[in-house]
């Protein structure tokens, strides 16, 4: 219970002010498309130069927590996921917003984020030594199988047709191959300078989610001059809390999956939301409602992506290995103050370590409070006429794509992918599987190649990739996941046949 004695540090006037500033700033940065949590934290590091180490970390911790949750705002209201973590949130959240239930969607999203986030940080506090061993257990073969497990959910994710889902995933895989390959030094599909570094996930995310929408909205705006205003439903906090507890199953699935996936270095938060969304859909009694504006989907996705925050810091704080890009940025923030994460941190600087962790705990609570407070105002975005909305989204999309690495090339990539996605959507392909392919491609590929290189120096690839308890466990999950999808699609066909006859 060592962490309790350092709670006081969080509530010192300056520290608390920084905590509030970090939370509010993080929510705003997170809600801006293109500004991922990693970038937001990197932007704040120079501010910490002037602060004490503890205070600097409070600012960074609060900002990290809040940006992850803030990404849900643009995902729900604009259908532009702020970061890969929020892709799954957009699927149901935006449908809810379109129906005028934006406030409800934001309420449950922030509440679920808060619950997931607090549990994630508690795991960090109590189970760090055990979790650290776990994080190291995942070597190249295991990460490869993790990625394949992710591939198995591509087909069933947000797609009416299993085959079209897989095809979108393949497209994503292909996009992920573009660029300079770090491991073998090959240059692949680089026709222009802008593609040397490959297709950035955030650039792609903005393009394929935002641009098709903008085109749709412009088309609608021309057709109907008088826009029928959507009525934004009021939603009381008590009702939202009730809704959250009615969906305790989705909440638990999201929190558990988020914590586990967040722990694995290199896979991290990018896929936690999507995996949780898919699993909660598979276990749900109302799986057919997913994708049509079902609160369960938002709850599962958001609890997962905030639950991952705490565990994702375990490898950093105990072993000094940053497990995610954001953790790498935080490492920089620590080093600048002369603090080396690792066992040394908890022994010699317990005050810094625990105040940082505590600030994330309090930060979660503040994030929920501020999130709920802005929700009812923010939800009115749905009433903006579509022509104006389209222009605003376009500006945000260009700004977001440019700010990823200050490059016009990214803006063109974003636009090209977006226009292509508009036509793909007309043929029934959807965006989420494509992005998942783009995220999983490099994980599967680099770990397979690295694993084979290591295996060739040892006993050969077969035992390296197939034997060992963790390999077998993951392969079993892959087989189960495929079998489940297969059985479900057979059952659906049978149902359709029964309905027709």
**Measured from the CB atom, is 340 or 373 closer to other proteins?**
340
Among 100, 139, 385, 461, binds other proteins (CB under 8 A): 139
Single out the residue of 137, 163, 369, 494 in contact with other proteins (rule: CB under 8 A).
137
In 3D space, the residue among 324, 314, 316 whose CA is nearest the CA of residue 270 turns out to be 324
For other proteins, the closer of residues 60 and 390 by Cβ is 60
Distance CA 2, CA 22 (A): 25
**Nearest residue (CB) to other proteins, 381 versus 449:** 449
Least CB distance to other proteins at residue 167 (A): 26
Please provide the size of the chain in residues: 501
End-to-end CA distance of the chain: 64
| Contacting other proteins within 39-68 (CB under 8 A) | 39, 41-42, 45-46, 49
Q: Select 308 or 321, whichever has its Cβ closest to other proteins.
A: 321
| Cβ at position 405, least distance to other proteins in Å | 5
Q: Check binding of 82 to other proteins (CB under 8 A).
A: no
254 binds other proteins (CB under 8 A): no
- 283: alpha, beta or left? (left if phi > 0; alpha if psi -120 to 50): alpha
> In angstroms, rounded to a whole number, what is the distance separating the alpha carbons of residues 302 and 312?
16
Which residue's structure tokens are 């376009």? 394
CB 100 within 8 A of CB 89: no
Measured CA to CA, the distance from residue 59 to residue 64 in angstroms comes to 9
Residue 344 touching other proteins (CB under 8 A): yes
- 257 near other proteins, judged by CB under 8 A: no
Cβ-contact 447, 264 below 8 angstroms: no
218 to 310, 333, 355, 386, 401: CA distances (angstroms): 41, 44, 49, 7, 20
Which residues from 462-491 bind other proteins, rule CB under 8 A?
A: none
Shortest Å distance, C-beta 23 to other proteins:
21
171 binds other proteins, rule: CB under 8 A: no
Q: What is the smallest separation between the CB atom of 469 and other proteins, expressed in angstroms?
A: 16
- Between 13 and 185, CB nearer to other proteins: 185
Q: Does 392 bind other proteins (CB under 8 A)?
A: no
Q: Closest separation between CB of residue 457 and other proteins, Å?
A: 4
13 contributes a contact to other proteins by CB under 8 A:
no
Q: How far is CA 430 from CA 57, 91, 161, 163, 436, in A?
A: 40, 10, 10, 12, 11
**Contacts with other proteins: how many residues (CB under 8 A)?**
58
Tokens 């909305």 correspond to 389
Q: Which of 177, 167, 208 is nearest to 443 (CA)?
A: 177
Residue 426 DSSP one-character state? H
In a 10 Å sphere around its CB, with 0-12 CB exposed, 13-18 middle and 19+ buried, how is residue 46 labelled? exposed
Q: Does 496 interact with other proteins (rule: CB under 8 A)? A: no
Residues near 278 by Cβ (< 8 Å), separated by ≥ 6? Answer: 153, 156, 157
Residue from 12, 47, 51, 197 that binds other proteins (CB under 8 A)? 197
Q: Which is nearer to other proteins, 133 or 222 (CB)?
A: 133
The two tokens of residue 47 are 């501010």
Does 374 bind other proteins (CB under 8 A)? Our answer is no
Among 15, 24, 10, 41, residue whose Cα is nearest residue 369: 24
Residue 37 sits in the site that holds other proteins (CB under 8 A)? no
Provide the minimum distance between the beta carbon of 140 and other proteins in the complex, in angstroms, as a whole number: 6
Q: How far apart are CA 355 and CA 352, in angstroms?
A: 5
Closest distance to other proteins from the beta carbon of 407 (Å): 6
- The answer to whether residues 42 and 385 touch, using CB atoms and an 8 Å cutoff, is no
Supply the minimum distance, in Å, between the C-beta of residue 25 and other proteins.
17
User: Which positions from 398 through 417 interact with other proteins, judged by CB under 8 A?
Assistant: 405-407
Which of 68, 57, 54, 58 minimizes the C-alpha distance to 26?
Answer: 68
Binding of residue 192 to other proteins (CB under 8 A): no
Here the tokens at position 273 are 């939301």
Q: How far apart are CA 79 and CA 209, in angstroms?
A: 6
Which part of the chain contacts other proteins (CB under 8 A), choosing from 4-12, 34-42, 422-430, 491-499? 34-42
Binding flags for other proteins, 304-343, as an x/- string (CB under 8 A): -----------x---xxxx--x--xxxxxx-xxxx-xxxx
Binding track, positions 418-457, relative to other proteins; x by CB under 8 A: ------------------------x---x---x--xx-xx
User: Applying CB under 8 A, does 458 fall inside the site for other proteins?
Assistant: yes
- Minimum distance between the CB of residue 483 and other proteins, rounded to whole angstroms? 31
| Contact region with other proteins (CB under 8 A), list: 197-205, 226-234, 362-370, 428-436 | 197-205
Question: Containing H/E element for 260?
Answer: helix 248-263
- Say if CB 290 and CB 281 are below 8 A apart: yes
Interface residues toward other proteins, by CB under 8 A? 38-39, 41-42, 45-46, 49, 136-140, 179-180, 182-185, 187, 193, 196-198, 200, 265-266, 315, 319-322, 325, 328-333, 335-338, 340-344, 405-407, 442, 446, 450, 453-454, 456-458
């Amino acid at each position: 219970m060592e962490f309790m004695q350092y709670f006081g540090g969080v509530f010192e006037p300056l520290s608390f002010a920084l905590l509030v500033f970090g939370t509010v700033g993080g929510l705003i940065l997170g809600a801006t498309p293109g500004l991922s949590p990693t970038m937001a934290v990197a932007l704040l590091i120079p501010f910490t130069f002037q602060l004490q180490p503890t205070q600097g970390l409070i600012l960074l911790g609060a900002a990290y927590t809040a940006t992850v949750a803030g990404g849900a705002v643009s995902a729900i209201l604009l259908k532009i996921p702020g970061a890969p973590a929020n892709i799954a949130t957009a699927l149901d959240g935006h449908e809810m917003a379109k129906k005028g239930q934006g406030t409800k969607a934001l309420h449950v999203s922030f509440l679920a984020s808060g619950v997931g986030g607090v549990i994630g940080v508690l795991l960090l506090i109590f189970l760090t030594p055990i979790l650290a061993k776990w994080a190291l257990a995942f070597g190249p073969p295991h990460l490869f199988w993790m990625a394949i497990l992710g591939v198995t959910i591509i087909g069933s994710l947000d797609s009416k047709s299993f085959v079209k889902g897989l095809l979108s995933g393949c497209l994503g895989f292909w996009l992920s191959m573009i660029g300079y390959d770090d491991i073998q030094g090959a240059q692949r599909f680089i026709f222009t300078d802008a593609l040397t570094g490959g297709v950035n996930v955030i650039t792609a995310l903005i393009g394929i989610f935002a641009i098709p929408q903008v085109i749709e909205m412009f088309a609608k705006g021309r057709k109907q001059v008088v826009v029928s205003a959507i009525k934004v439903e009021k939603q009381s906090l008590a009702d939202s809390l009730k809704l959250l507890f009615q969906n305790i199953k989705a909440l638990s699935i999201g929190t558990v999956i988020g914590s586990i996936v967040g722990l694995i270095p290199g896979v991290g938060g990018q896929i936690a939301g999507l995996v949780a969304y898919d699993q909660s859909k598979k276990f749900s009694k109302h799986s057919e409602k997913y994708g049509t504006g079902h609160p369960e989907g938002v709850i599962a996705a958001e609890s997962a992506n905030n639950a991952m925050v705490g565990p994702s810091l375990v490898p950093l704080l105990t072993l000094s290995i940053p497990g995610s890009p954001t953790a790498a940025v935080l490492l920089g923030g620590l080093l600048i103050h002369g603090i080396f994460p690792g066992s040394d941190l908890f022994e010699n600087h317990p005050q810094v370590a625990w105040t940082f962790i505590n600030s994330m705990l309090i930060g979660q609570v503040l994030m929920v409070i501020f999130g709920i407070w802005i929700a009812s105002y923010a939800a009115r975005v749905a009433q903006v006429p579509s022509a104006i909305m389209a222009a605003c989204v376009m500006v945000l999309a260009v700004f977001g794509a440019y700010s990823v690495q200050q490059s016009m090339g990214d803006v063109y990539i974003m636009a090209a992918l977006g226009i292509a996605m508009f036509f793909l959507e007309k043929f029934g392909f959807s965006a989420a599987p494509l992005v998942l392919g783009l995220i999983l491609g490099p994980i599967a590929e680099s770990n397979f190649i690295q694993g084979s290189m290591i295996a060739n120096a040892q006993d050969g690839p077969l035992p390296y990739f197939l034997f060992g308890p963790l390999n077998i466990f993951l392969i079993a999950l892959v087989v189960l996941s495929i079998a489940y999808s297969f059985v479900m699609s057979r059952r659906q066909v049978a149902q359709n046949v029964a309905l027709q006859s």
